[in-house]
């Protein structure tokens, strides 16, 4: 498929070299920055992008329940001049993923999939030939991290030299945040109970990116040390979808890592509180922190829409 720049309201938009966002690794450091800059313009001037997906239907595939991801992708497709079709349930349940992908390729122009296995996203991209977006897998959550980086840019004005501390399970959200922070020059500390650290190979990759930007990537179980001078504190649920059978044991191990007012006081004065939602209030965080003046959780949720629109605009370059 031929890929070339396209122009929207005098803004020249290059296609993504990978042609997909299967994981955070599909974005080069330069593309990550360009996408976030584009998201700022998309948010400020939505009408300029109202015809980017004109006539295009986006397939939205959901193996997991969704509020923010589903609604923001549906709204994004419509605000960009296209539309979407939603399919829920196992993607490879009735037939192989490769067959699902080739059917979708005959009817629609782009795929966003919220899956359990990362391999499902990879297969959809491989067999459909359509621009394919990882809307969450067990290994990565790139769209959430893009929205989070946009939110931090709005509150801080930039990323370089700032410090983001993530507290809790070293999961898909931690992976994507770490990879983006490293490429944007932001220090990242992942604070987890022993045995729940992020995947070693992703930490290694993030440190490779950080070597070029001056960022520091740290993994620790020491809460106070990890939070020292952190300018934003991020958490997520202790047991993700598919891990419910571990919930009781996780609740016991993660209890000291609850992001409450005492824990927030260990961070820098005025540190932002972040959560990808849905939040289990009084578990991984408290109602008091969620409702505090430093909470930016609904800014993050809003920015899912704008970041995903920017991503879809860049992927649309290969549809023309």
Catalytic residues: 114, 141, 144, 236, 276, 304
- Give the whole-angstrom CA distance, residue 131 versus residue 111: 6
- Give the whole-angstrom CA distance, residue 109 versus residue 139: 25
Who's near 312: CB < 8 A, 6+ residues apart? 52, 53, 58, 76, 77, 80, 110, 133
**Closest CA relative to residue 305, chosen from 135, 110, 186, 180:** 135
Residue 55 phi/psi, 5-degree rounding, is 80, 0
Angle, helices 172-184/200-213, rounded to nearest 10 degrees: 20
Residues belonging to the chain: 320
- Give the whole-angstrom CA distance, residue 276 versus residue 19: 26
123 in Cβ contact with 97 (< 8 Å): yes
Find the Cα–Cα–Cα–Cα dihedral 223, 245, 300, 186, rounded to 10°: 40
Strand order in the sheet with 163-167: 217-220, 187-191, 163-167, 232-235, 272-275
């Amino acid at each position: 498929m031929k890929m070339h720049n396209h122009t929207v309201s005098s803004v020249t938009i290059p296609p993504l070299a990978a042609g997909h966002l299967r994981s955070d690794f599909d974005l080069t450091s330069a593309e990550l920055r360009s996408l976030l800059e584009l998201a700022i313009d998309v948010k400020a001037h939505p009408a300029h992008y109202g015809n980017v997906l004109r006539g295009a239907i986006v397939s939205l595939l959901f193996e997991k329940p969704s509020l923010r991801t589903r609604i923001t992708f549906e709204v994004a497709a419509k605000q960009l001049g296209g539309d979407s079709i939603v399919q829920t349930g196992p993607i490879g349940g009735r037939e192989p993923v490769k067959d699902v992908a080739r059917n979708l390729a005959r009817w629609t122009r782009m795929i966003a999939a919220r899956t359990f296995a990362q391999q499902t996203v990879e297969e959809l991209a491989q067999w459909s030939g359509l621009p394919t977006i990882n809307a969450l897998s067990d290994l990565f959550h790139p769209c959430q991290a893009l929205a989070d980086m946009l939110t931090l840019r709005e509150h801080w004005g930039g990323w370089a030299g700032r410090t983001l501390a993530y507290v809790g399970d070293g999961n898909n959200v931690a992976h994507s945040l770490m990879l983006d922070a490293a490429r944007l020059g932001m220090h990242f500390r992942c604070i987890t109970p022993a045995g729940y650290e992020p995947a070693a190979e992703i930490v290694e990759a993030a440190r490779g990116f950080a070597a070029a930007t001056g960022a520091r990537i740290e993994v620790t179980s020491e809460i106070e040390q990890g939070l020292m001078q952190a300018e934003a504190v991020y958490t997520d649920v202790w047991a993700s979808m598919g891990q419910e059978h571990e919930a009781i044991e996780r609740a016991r191990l993660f209890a000291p890592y609850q992001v409450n007012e005492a824990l927030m006081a260990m961070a820098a004065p005025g540190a932002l509180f972040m959560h990808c939602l849905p939040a289990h209030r009084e578990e991984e965080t408290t109602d008091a922190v969620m409702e505090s003046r430093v909470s930016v959780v609904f800014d993050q949720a809003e920015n899912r829409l704008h970041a995903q629109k920017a991503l879809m605009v860049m992927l649309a370059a290969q549809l023309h």
